[in-house]
Amino acid sequence: MEDDDSIADPLIAGLARDGFSVRRARTAAEAAAAEPPEFVLLDLGLPDADGADVCRALRARTEVPIIVITARGDEIDRVVLLELGADDYLVKPFGFRELVARIRAVSRRAVPRSERATPLRVGGLEIDRRTRRAQIDDRDLGLTVKEFELLAYLASEPGTVHTRQAILESVWDTHWYGPTKTLDVHVAALRRKLGDPRWIETVRGVGFRFVAPA
């Protein structure tokens, strides 16, 4: 989604040369009326809606990867975007090759449809990637976007120790260099909603491990 021809036209031409099939939406309304894409590049400066609201709405109804293109370089703006469900972001001006690399990296991390179709079950916990819902013994956990993604990431490999940096790069941002406090906040929230802190073990000095309580 991009309303500026001087930005959109060279991007479309370059992505087409790299083998991507591109459809452009100049406004949020055009995007809402279009067929669901496999990938979204979202510029925040849309003429008819705030890009952050569009990102939130997209994530509420689809799991397609979203890369946000923004002129806002402050850390708080980037954190808000990632919390709203964006998979990655690029701050203007950016290089075309970096954009393509980010698209391919985010696409590699996306969960295949075949895997999303089957709910993940660990003990009494069920995680449904299609509906983005998690339940314990039929009790909905009411997770936020990032809480769900963090839980799904950890639970996909029970018993495996994931480093803090690997979690941040996989769940939040491929180029996360900021403080890791946000991870601790989300782990604490997950433990509270799961009802038992033993679901997520802290491996001191390394990261976290997901284990179903005995």
Contact 42, 67 (CB under 8 A): yes
| 176 — pLDDT class (breaks 50, 70, 90) | low
**123 φ/ψ angles, rounded to the nearest 5 degrees:** 60, -130
**How much is the CA Rg of the chain, to the nearest whole Å?**
18
- Residue 206 amino acid letter: V
Mean pLDDT of the chain: 81
Bond prior to 93 in cis (omega within 30° of 0): yes
pLDDT digit string, tens, across residues 10-67: 888 888 888 888 888 888 888 777 777 888 888 877 777 887 888 888 887 777 888 8
* All domains in the chain, ordered by first residue: 5-109 (3.40.50.2300), 113-210 (1.10.10.10)
Q: Distance between CA atoms of 85 and 141, rounded to whole angstroms?
A: 18
Q: What is the pLDDT of residue 136?
A: 93
- Residue 16 amino acid letter: A
Which neighbouring-strand residues pair with 88? 67
Indicate yes or no: pTM above 0.85. no
